[in-house]
Amino acid sequence: MMTKYEEKVRIFNHYTNYKGRLFVKTLCDLFNDVAEAQTEMYKVDVETLNAQGITWMLHRLHISLHKMPSKDEEVILETWPSGVDRLFALRDYRMIRKNGEELVRATSEWMYIDMKRRRPLRLPEMVISMSTGHDIPKLVNPPLLVEKEFGGEMEGVRDFVATFDNIDFNGHVTQASYVRWITNSLPFEFLKNHVLVEIEVIYAHEIMPDSHIHSAYRMESRGEEVVVWHEVKNETSTFTHCQAKTVWWQHGK
């Protein structure tokens, strides 16, 4: 019977920003680490699949951040395959304290991809079985991002280049780097005075090595929170690599 996979994680200094809070990009890297460890047990990990010309590709990631852990804190990170939706294999994550307090929850959708054709395949029986053959409840994470909300003038943009350190096992930019470029597009003073509480990303097109991209945003204040729409586009802005929506609170809320 499938069970949750969990690891104890210490929040080292280099995992955190200058205020001592865990980077959201590093949180995504930790998600990848525990997911890889569990998929290795069932022989559907990246290395095994790559040998067959297949890989996993993230389509959607939604994270709710109740409270980011701080430097030197030790937490528990758990993950499990949480269902199937058409061609998507679903996977959930939770970061909790030892007393059971939930700090972070996340839901995700993954595609099983033919590496040569770069097209999704039907999920194999092993993946369907491990995703549905258990009684672990699926996490509830109501949708944040509505694609029809996009459009109109973006108010700011920052340019990035896909360098060697951004590239993952599939030879393109890792999903965690998208998240870093999304948040780092925002002004320093805004990031200094606000805390990220929710983010949802839809990944559309791969970013290849040495690509130049534009990470643009549009903000809207809603009482005590700020909602931001993000688009990461290619150098000529002819197509979109990803869309995202983030929610921020001022420090002290």
Segment 142-173, tens digit of pLDDT: 999 887 777 778 899 999 999 999 988 778 89
**Superfamily of structural domain 143-253:** Hotdog Thioesterase (3.10.129.10)
DSSP 149: G
Domain layout of the chain by residue ranges: 1-137, 143-253
The two domains 1-137 and 143-253 share their CATH topology (first three levels equal) = yes
Does position 253 have pLDDT exceeding 70, yes or no? no
Are the CB atoms for 229 and 149 separated by under 8 Å?
Answer: yes
**pLDDT tens digit sequence for 46-86:** 999 999 999 999 999 999 999 999 999 999 999 999 999 99
Sign of CA dihedral 5, 82, 105, 56: positive
CATH architecture of 1-137: Roll (3.10)
pLDDT of residue 1: 67
- The pTM for the full model equals 0.95
Across 86-173, the runs of DSSP E, i.e. the strands, are 88-96, 102-114, 119-120, 156-161
